Amino acid sequence: MLLRQPLRPWVVPLLLWFLTCVLWLPWLGNVPLRDWDEAGIARTALEFAQAADLNGLLPTRWGEPYLNKPPGIHLLVALAIRLWGTHEAMLRLAPAVLSTTAVPLVVLIQRQLALQSRQPGEQFRGSFAGEGLATGLILMTTVPMARHGRLLMLDGAMIAATLLLWWGLLLLWSHPRRGAGLTGLACSALLLLKPPAAMAFLVVGLAATFLAALPMDGQRQGNGLLQQWRRSWRAVGLWSLLGCLPGLAWHGWHVYNRGDGALLMWGSQGFGRLVQALEGHDQGLSVPAFELLKGGWPWFLLLPLGLQLAWRQRNRASGRWRLGILAGCLGVVLSLKTQLPWYSHILWPPLACVEGPALARLWRERRTGQLGIPLLLFGLALLLAAVLQALAVVQGLPLWPLLSAGIGFTIAAIVLLGGWSVRWGLVLLLVGWWVALLCFWATPLWLWELNETWPTRAVGRLVRTLPAEELVFIQGTGRRPSLSWYGRRLVPPRPDQAPRPHHLVATGEQPLPGCHVQVLFPPPPQPAQQQPVSLQWCAPEDQASHKLAPQRFP
Specify the 3-state DSSP secondary structure of 506. Answer: strand
CA distance 109 to 144: 21
CA distance 316 to 117: 6
**Helix 422-441 and helix 348-365, axial crossing angle in degrees, nearest 10:** 150
* Among 317, 405, 310, 287, CA closest to 361: 310
What would the 3-class secondary structure string for 42-72 be? HHHHHHHHHCCCHHHHCCEECCEECCCCCCH
Instruction: Report CA 207 to chain centroid distance, whole Å.
Output: 24
Contact by Cβ (8 Å): 133, 12: yes
**pLDDT interval class at 514 (50, 70, 90):** confident
CA distance 484 to 224: 58
E strand or H helix at 190: helix 176-191
Query: What local confidence, expressed as pLDDT, does residue 232 receive?
Result: 67
Contact by Cβ (8 Å): 409, 376: yes
The structural domains of the chain, with segments of one domain joined by +, span 11-114+125-260, 369-449, 453-552
Backbone angles phi, psi at 518, to 5 degrees: -90, -50
DSSP string, 316-380: SHHHHHHHHHHHHHHHHHHT-SS--GGGGGGGHHHHHHHHHHHHHHHHHHT--TT-HHHHHHHHH
Q: What is the DSSP letter of 7?
A: -
CA distance 177 to 183: 10
CA distance 427 to 421: 10
The structure's pTM equals 0.91
pLDDT, tens only, 363-385? 887 776 678 889 999 999 999 99
Range scoring the smallest mean pLDDT among 170-174, 413-417, 490-494: 170-174
Mean pLDDT of all residues in 282-309: 86
Query: What local confidence, expressed as pLDDT, does residue 2 receive?
Result: 45
What would the 3-class secondary structure string for 62-98 be? CCEECCCCCCHHHHHHHHHHHHHCCCHHHHHHHHHHH
pLDDT of 3 higher than 50: no
**pLDDT interval class at 122 (50, 70, 90):** low
Burial of 542 (0-12, 13-18, 19+ CB in 10 A): exposed
**pLDDT interval class at 189 (50, 70, 90):** very high
Contact by Cβ (8 Å): 264, 68: yes
Instruction: Report CA 225 to chain centroid distance, whole Å.
Output: 34
pLDDT of 283 higher than 60: yes
CA distance 183 to 202: 9
Tell me the Cα Rg of the chain: 26
Query: What local confidence, expressed as pLDDT, does residue 8 receive?
Result: 72
CA distance 521 to 509: 9
pLDDT of 277 higher than 80: no
Query: What local confidence, expressed as pLDDT, does residue 337 receive?
Result: 76
Omega of the bond leading into 374 within 30 degrees of 0 (cis): no
pLDDT of 86 higher than 90: yes
Mean pLDDT of the chain: 86
Contact by Cβ (8 Å): 250, 194: no
Mean pLDDT of all residues in 58-79: 93
* Among 165, 166, 156, 144, CA closest to 102: 156
Q: What is the DSSP letter of 298?
A: T
Q: Which residue would you say has higher pLDDT here, 529 or 325? A: 325
74 C-beta neighbours (distance < 10 Å), count:
31
- In terms of phi and psi (left: phi > 0; alpha: psi -120 to 50; beta: otherwise), the region of 158 is alpha
* Among 387, 433, 444, 57, CA closest to 249: 57
pLDDT, tens only, 9-56? 788 899 999 999 999 999 999 999 998 889 999 999 999 999 887 778
Query: What local confidence, expressed as pLDDT, does residue 282 receive?
Result: 64
CA distance 10 to 490: 48
Amino acid letter for position 416: L
Q: What is the DSSP letter of 183?
A: H
Query: What local confidence, expressed as pLDDT, does residue 222 receive?
Result: 47
Mean pLDDT of all residues in 258-279: 72
**pLDDT interval class at 530 (50, 70, 90):** low
Query: What local confidence, expressed as pLDDT, does residue 319 receive?
Result: 92
pLDDT of 224 higher than 50: yes
Query: What local confidence, expressed as pLDDT, does residue 478 receive?
Result: 80
pLDDT of 71 higher than 60: yes
CA distance 19 to 345: 21
pLDDT of 125 higher than 80: no
pLDDT of 120 higher than 80: no
Query: What local confidence, expressed as pLDDT, does residue 369 receive?
Result: 64
Q: Which residue would you say has higher pLDDT here, 323 or 114? A: 323
Contact by Cβ (8 Å): 535, 509: no
